[in-house]
A = this chain, B = another copy of it.
Amino acid sequence: MSTSDEGSVPADTREDIMEATFRALSEHGYSALRMRDIGEEMEMTRQVIHYHYDGKRDLMSSFLEYIIDQYEGSVEVDGSAPPREELEARVHQCLFGPGFEEFSHWDRMKVYHELFTHAQNDEEHREIFNEHYGRIRGSITEVVEDGIERGVFRDTDPERAGQLITDIIHAARGRKLSLGHDDAPEQAWRSIDEFVVDSLLAVDADGPDTVESDA
């Protein structure tokens, strides 16, 4: 943050290690990841890792927070668009990545999903993921909530709808990554539109903002 360009700045090293970890994880997968693999992705020797992190476990926990921060930081929306458009914009971003593929979005997702699944064996990781997941789902849920309040969406449990959308997105990504179904995000996109959004738009009462879409 404060220092940034001179040679012997330590703060940059930690960032380098995180990115090296990402690359190593991306290439070898979590189960085969060796400290050596991370070292080979860095310009410095692998032993620096032990200077900055307290062993493999500590490194992985820090990395988990690192990649989660990145993920959440990449989600950007204005919030001023009407509910339907707003919802679709967020879903689109979750399914196809942020605007221009700034980094390798899917490489990132691959690592993310692998760590997600591994959380079932690691209580600490599970907790970190739970907090994160709550925020992600919440960000979808509040759009649904807003739509219901404005009368654009029919009256339903926004939590459940948000959870459903989040689940569909998650499953589609996992399917693309694990099974190689490259069209999974596109399919999910259409399914959300046909089943979820369509259903939400089916308002039958003429509430405060009497809005309708298909007629």
Contacts and interface: CB of A to CB of B under 8 A. Distances in A.
A178 B114 contact: no
A190 interface: yes
Main secondary structure of the interface of A (DSSP, over half): helix
Nearest to A175: B167
Contact count band on A: 35 or more
B190 A121 contact: no
Interface in A109-168: 110, 113-114, 116-121, 126, 129-130, 133, 156, 160-161, 163-164, 167-168
B117 A117 contact: yes
A195 B199 CA distance: 7
A31 interface: yes
A191 B177 CA distance: 25
A31 B198 CA distance: 42
Most buried by B among A32, A120, A168, A190: A120
A58 to B, nearest CB: 17
Contacts of A116: 117, 174, 178
A35 to B, nearest CB: 14
Contact of A130 (B174, B179, B191): B179
Given A168-B167, A168-B171, A160 B129 contact: no
A20 to B, nearest CB: 18
A49 interface: no
Interface of A: 28-32, 110, 113-114, 116-121, 126, 129-130, 133, 156, 160-161, 163-164, 167-168, 170-172, 174-175, 177-180, 187-188, 190-191, 194-196, 198-199, 214
8 contacts: A30-B31, A31-B118, A130-B179, A160-B187, A161-B195, A167-B171, A170-B174, A171-B171
